[in-house]
A and B are shown apart, each in its own frame.
Chain A
């Protein structure tokens, strides 16, 4: 996305209510393009003012303060747009392969139980997010640890083209956020400064990068808190901050949103999207999760693992495009016979009660519009409806 498009995106955001996102994206914009670096400070100041205002009141800001910030963001955008070349500023850096594996396998054997992961062919490119999904114990963490260079493999090959060949130097360039992050000591601010410094970001650049990260991820008011004083959601945000502060090119996250509430999940995933698609140093991100819907909404690629084997590995958008049937989940105050009657003869290939929802399979020609129309016509009270035809979620329903 070019600078021009980013400016337009920001202007559109200003018309909405999400001032938080607008201030964050403004910071991203100024950080992404070297020609705008002198505006990073004002952008950061606006974000700080937004954070301060939000901290004083609850939730999103309203009123004069919000309007003032909105006006200043708008002014800053105008200044950016007025800069020579900004309107057609450089587009995002071309995607690069950060990790590649071919026929990667790993065997485990314990107490007579054997488990084999793979063979897996995987390519992680900067600017892309890859989601790893599957039931528990199917090898998601094992795969992520291999990608992070933490686990040896038994077969196949793997490469990290953007990282040095030396295993130590390579490990230092891969950002790994485990499901349960290790306890850290000192304050959040100290840790960020330390992590940035240990990655060679020294002096004023260190302070600049740390402050930018704190403001960008909304951690400013937690900067002087310690591990015990942070909620699990903010601990995760801190882990993310600790990784992005040194601009890694490959970010591996194991079940990052498992313990987050809905709002925190949304915020976190939003940040991951922005991080991946940054014009400057875009990141290749791979994460595992059980929250299929959320992962599929941000992932460019999906790997579904069952018993260690990839049942699907490819573009999220391309999943099951050549299917012969559609699959829907629905729930409501309606019984099976009424549902079947509403759908009409031959339009329901299967209707199963999973215990929580009905799972409906229809021919490909019967899409969500037709199903909803039929349900409406039958005056069925539906409280939940989801088309999972192109979601790996339907793989969970298939027998192994």
Chain B
């Protein structure tokens, strides 16, 4: 502890003294020291983030770092709670101005939120370093190049032979045994189509393929290739048949010669969800088709560059050279360059560039953190204001009540009460919350301290910030106060009678707008309720705690 004291500058100690003597409640939150140590810890987190190895080949997952850092953050939070609860004037001298009470809650809340800056800082530092490994423009160019050259590299897919295909190739199936065969082959990412029209309608065609018993040409093509691969497997004594392999390769050749349209998974390297200006799939396809139609040869410089780029992002990529790529392509075997190994790293860097992490771009996560911190701050103020017994009983009661209510709901649903267990749970909770809040009006009239009433007051303080939201949710779900269900039903009715009804687009747009309005209203109820509680109701609750603690005990 003495070592920690040495980390605090003299100036801060003089502030500490002034705060202690002039603003003891603020001093007791230890916010000034807390903020200082968090500054140091965040600086340390930045330093660690800068020391962690981050290069094109690998860097740690920022989300993982965030999760790991939650452990020391939780430990620090526990330490801080211990420190903040130590100097406690509340139990005997807890009545203060409303501003002071509100400020104390906000400070405690802010303190807890500040602790969560630790995992953010480390994860953010690493993510930013990863994001800047490759400049955006260069990254886009590299991905586009890889996408454009991808057709020269047969993939590493494996596929399961469909039973229908085995029937079509009954003669050959006898050799293969007709069973489902896991066949490594080099054309998994390539699909042939019979015509340009079919190619354009590939999605519809794919849909029909799922329902049709007639095998698609590309299925047949892949079947030939898989059998050739199977027959070429010299390690399989029973299946090894070079002549059979040559037969299937010839058959595959005949398809390729007569059906030049080849569908590949364009944009394979394009990171999902990224908003950088990569070449669109359609453009990649168009360029590919132009090249095939023109019978253009391989661009060896581009292929060599693609290999180098992929190697930059993954050490497993083999630099086999443009000749090697051409040779493997001609032999229609899967590429040994392992170009696709680079894809995951490109994806991860793109995520870092756009900070697509749960701790950064998830609205719900921020809400969860803010509300969890608020709940902890509320509990801490209750703990500081009351004896520990009602606080503990309140925590246990709060945890057990939903379970007990669920058991009750399951027992009485439909049989005893004419409602579902969900309804009983929802309305039961609402009634309990309302009862907790209603009893607050009588606390001032108490003549002697009551543990039961203290417990109920703590529980009421915990539910008060969310009561408006919960009430609104019940009104929305149970009574359709926003009219969403009515509008949905009207749309469904119209759509059922006439799917092409001209009113439908406008109605659907209205439904979307209504849902957005409902969301905004709910958010307003949530944060409005929280703000209303923190600024106005919390001082009232603190006054009730103080009143309870001032009352004489019965025993």
Contacts and interface: CB of A to CB of B under 8 A. Distances in A.
Interface of A: 108, 145-146, 149-153, 166-172, 185-186, 190-191, 193-199, 202-203, 206-207
A193 B23 CA distance: 11
B86 A167 contact: no
Contact of B546 (A152, A168, A185, A190): A168
B21 A193 contact: yes
A191 B28 CA distance: 11
Interface string B524-555: 00000000000000000000001101111111
Given A190-B20, A194-B87, A203-B22, A150 B95 contact: no
A186 B82 CA distance: 12
Residue of B20, B549, B553 ringed by the most chain A CB atoms within 10 A? B20
Contacts of A171: 92, 549-550
Given A108-B555, A152-B552, A170-B550, A194 B20 contact: yes
Given A152-B447, A152-B448, A186-B87, A202 B22 contact: yes
Interface in B272-307: none
Given A171-B549, A190-B87, 11 more contacts: A108-B555, A152-B551, A167-B547, A167-B551, A169-B95, A197-B22, A197-B27, A198-B25, A203-B21, A206-B21, A207-B21
B93 interface: yes
Contacts of A202: 21-22
Given A167-B547, A186-B86, A194-B28, A150 B21 contact: no
Interface string B83-125: 0001101001111000000000000000000000000000000
Contacts of B17: 193
Contacts of B428: none
19 contacts: A145-B552, A150-B552, A152-B552, A153-B552, A167-B551, A167-B552, A168-B546, A168-B549, A168-B550, A172-B93, A172-B95, A193-B21, A193-B24, A194-B24, A194-B27, A197-B20, A197-B21, A203-B22, A206-B21
A141 to B, nearest CB: 12
A168 B548 CA distance: 9
B86 A185 contact: yes
Contact of B553 (A108, A151, A194, A196): A151
Interface string B183-221: 000000000000000000000000000000000000000
Nearest to B551: A167
Interface string B346-389: 00000000000000000000000000000000000000000000
**Chain B residues touching A, range:** 20 to 34
Contacts of A170: 550
Contacts of B449: 152
Nearest to A158: B552
B442 to A, nearest CB: 16
Contacts of B89: 194-195, 198
B547 A193 contact: no
A151 B22 contact: no
B79 to A, nearest CB: 13
A185 B95 contact: no
A168 B24 contact: no
Contacts of A152: 447-449, 551-554
Nearest to A166: B550
Interface in B441-483: 447-449
Contacts of B87: 185-186, 190-191, 194
A168 B95 contact: yes
A193 B89 CA distance: 12
B92 A172 contact: yes
B7 to A, nearest CB: 18
A251 to B, nearest CB: 15
Q: Which 6 A-B pairs have the closest CB atoms?
A: A168-B550, A185-B86, A197-B24, A152-B448, A206-B21, A152-B552
Residue of A171, A195, A207 ringed by the most chain B CB atoms within 10 A? A171
Interface in B491-549: 546-547, 549
A168 B447 contact: no
Residue of A167, A186, A199 ringed by the most chain B CB atoms within 10 A? A167
A165 to B, nearest CB: 12
A252 to B, nearest CB: 13
A199 B28 contact: no
Contacts of A172: 92-93, 95
B91 to A, nearest CB: 10
A146 B93 CA distance: 19
Contacts of A108: 555
A146 B448 CA distance: 12
Residue of B25, B93, B551 ringed by the most chain A CB atoms within 10 A? B93
A318 to B, nearest CB: 32
Given A149-B552, A151-B553, A198 B93 contact: yes
Nearest to B94: A168
Nearest to A199: B93
A23 B27 CA distance: 34
Interface in B252-274: none
A166 B95 CA distance: 11
B18 to A, nearest CB: 8
Interface string B18-41: 001111110110000000000000
A298 B426 CA distance: 66
Contacts of A198: 24-25, 89, 93
Contacts of B94: 168
Residue of B21, B87, B546 ringed by the most chain A CB atoms within 10 A? B21
Contact of A168 (B20, B547, B553, B554): B547
Given A152-B448, A186-B87, A193 B93 contact: no
Nearest to B24: A197
A185 B85 CA distance: 10
A191 B21 CA distance: 11
B89 to A, nearest CB: 4
Contacts of A150: 552-553
Nearest to B547: A168
Contacts of B547: 167-168
A241 B481 CA distance: 62
Nearest to B23: A197
A151 B552 contact: yes
A386 B285 CA distance: 116
A166 B543 CA distance: 12
Contacts of A145: 552-553
B194 to A, nearest CB: 82
Contacts of A193: 17, 20-21, 24
Nearest to A153: B552
Nearest to B85: A185
A108 B20 CA distance: 42
B286 to A, nearest CB: 73
Contacts of A169: 95, 550
Nearest to B86: A185
B554 to A, nearest CB: 5
